Amino acid sequence: MAVLAIAFAATGSVKAESWTSRDCTVTLSNDTLYISGDGRTKNYERIPSIPWYDVRSSIKHAVIGKGVTKINNCFYDCDQLETVDFEKGSKLKFIENDAFADCTALTTITLPDSVESIENWAFGGCSSLVSITIPASIKLIKSYTFTGCTNLADIFCYGDPEKLSWENTDAFMPNRGTKVHVLSEDLSKYQEKFYDIIKVPFVGDLDDNTTKYTLINIPEGWTLTANGRSVTVNNGEAEIPEGADVKLTPATAIINKVKSVTLEDFMPQITAPTLRTDLVYNGQTQALITAGEVDHGTMLYSTNGTTWSNKVPTATNAGDYNIYYKVVPEGHYLGVEPTLIGQASIAKAKGWITLSPSYTTGWDTWSSKYQTITITHHPGGTVTCRPVTPDMMSASIFNATSTSCSATVTKASGLPGNYGVYFTSAATQNYTAAQAVFLCQP
């Protein structure tokens, strides 16, 4: 359903309408239809069901956002549409059936460098269309794509003929004078593969018209493409046009707008190290991370960002440890600057304390009593005590910091009853605090 918004200008009201079309938002403002979002528009099986169909004659311009990947029959019968612009960085891959069919005012269009497929009747009936530019990324042009384009004079097609499938069922008529312009080096391949199908002349007059740069030091075994087309590499050298979008495989980096004459640095495949989250103090040395991987270079680690080693960082004591990594590059590859991946932690072990004996009985007389006990506890903990009833009980601890110490518990003369003393071994770097109680029973 349409969501209507009204904006007011100084000279009066300007109407704007907005619709949801599957993954996209379609907005009509003045005479411009904007399509934005990430993904595809809806395919409307019945043309009158296109939400903006009733206002199509008010659409003179179209802007298609960079996140749109597929256009269905959005502009069908938009007979006043004059221009179509694509945002920089467009991800549009598919122009579906009837996308621009019967846009009789459209005269020229340049498709973005991402388009791979143009489906049936996509530009059918565009009787004013004079020229169209098709990018190197194109892989499929279906039948009837340009049927009814009675004034189409020039198709500038940069597609690789070896990768392109171009279907046709009387899409052109020879007497219309349509020419397909291709790169000069591709002319013979186009003529051989498509002339009997397309039945229009091919002209090999396209060129990059830019200075050629020689790129040297390309690693052995790599493949190179420029603007989506394969480039021959001989002895580590290749020629590409200035400003081309260059991709080297197996490197993941895309080097945009090449200006220099030497390809020196490329990004290797990297799996960053990850922090371990299962560490508890056990008295042993433990690895703080799961090691990372790099295919061209050396991965180094550090806990302070200054001292580096190719060995995985380890620690014994409980605590928090900052972990850094970096990659020292190999050959023509890029490295990774020192990067903090986070803080690894070794948790404290559970503390413990035992008393022997842990209780005594028969203290039911009015006289004072005492008992000597042996205490063992986790290393490093200092033992302290707290009588349950201070005026009736007391305790003296000997060698309180030793893991095996002793204490004398004394009961003052008075009424018989249940009394006790709490003994606590304090928390340490590696252990939590622990507590036990000595009970005096009648």
Chain segment 349-396, per-residue pLDDT in tens: 999 999 999 988 877 666 678 889 999 999 999 999 999 878 788 889
Could you give the count of Cα atoms lying within 13 Å of 107 in the half-sphere of its Cβ?
2
Q: Are 113 and 134 in contact (CB under 8 A)?
A: no
SS3 30: coil
Residue-level pLDDT at 337: 86
Count of CB atoms within 10 A of residue 383's CB? 24
* pLDDT over threshold 90, residue 267: no
Residue 11 has pLDDT above 60, yes or no: no
More confident: 250 or 237: 237
Token digits for 82? 């004059």
Which tokens belong to 335? 């490295």
Contacts of 77 (CB under 8 A, 6+ apart): 47, 53, 56, 101, 102, 103
- Cα 277 versus chain centre, distance: 23
Given pLDDT bands bounded at 50, 70 and 90, which one contains residue 40? Answer: very high
CA distances from 3 to 33, 169, 334 (A): 15, 41, 49
Phi-psi region of 380 (alpha: psi -120 to 50; beta: other; left: phi over 0): left
Strands of the 24-29 sheet, one edge to the other: 3-9, 12-21, 24-29, 32-37, 61-64, 83-86
Alpha helices by DSSP H, listed for 179-268, are 187-198
Q: Are 380 and 430 in contact (CB under 8 A)?
A: yes
Q: In angstroms, rounded to a whole number, what is the distance separating the alpha carbons of residues 116 and 164? A: 9
Range with top average pLDDT, 154-163, 205-214, 221-230, 251-260: 154-163
93 vs 138: CA distance, rounded Å:
9
Find tokens 């004394």 and name the residue: 410
- Do the beta carbons of residue 225 and residue 231 sit within 8 Å? yes
The first and second tokens of residue 178, run together, are 């349509």
Query: How far, in Å, CA of 315 to CA of 324, rounded?
Result: 15
**pLDDT band at 429; cut points 50, 70, 90:** very high
Which residues share a beta bridge with 347?
280
CB 249 within 8 A of CB 235: no
pLDDT in tens, 76-130: 999 999 999 999 889 999 999 999 999 999 999 999 989 999 999 999 999 999 9
pLDDT for 244 beyond 80: no
Residues in the chain: 442
Question: Does residue 357 have a cis peptide bond before it, meaning omega lies within 30 degrees of 0?
Answer: yes
How far is the CA of 191 from the CAs of 159, 187, 197, 386, in angstroms? Answer: 14, 6, 10, 99
Give residue-wise pLDDT tens across range 174-202.
446 789 999 988 999 999 998 888 878 89
Which amino acid appears at position 402 of this protein?
S
**What is the pLDDT, as a whole number, of residue 253?**
41
**Of 12-16, 58-62, 273-277, 375-379, minimum mean pLDDT range:** 12-16
**For 325-331, what is the mean pLDDT?**
84
3-state class of 226 per DSSP? strand
- Which of 158-167, 173-182, 224-233, 365-374 is predicted most confidently? 158-167
**Residue 213 confidence (pLDDT):** 57
Helix (H, G, I), strand (E, B) or coil at 405: strand
Distance linking the first and last C-alpha atoms of the chain: 84
Amino acid code (one letter) for 53: Y
- Computed over every residue of the chain, the mean pLDDT equals 84
Instruction: Decide if pLDDT at 258 tops 70.
Output: no
Distances in Å between the Cα of 280 and the Cα atoms of 115, 288, 318, 351, 431 are 54, 11, 7, 12, 10
> What pLDDT was estimated at residue 62?
95
How does pLDDT run across 273-296, given as a tens digit for each residue?
Answer: 999 999 999 999 999 999 999 988
Q: What is the pTM of this model?
A: 0.50
Alpha helices for 178-233 (secondary structure H):
187-198
Question: Measured between alpha carbons, how far is 274 from 278 in angstroms, rounded to an integer?
Answer: 12
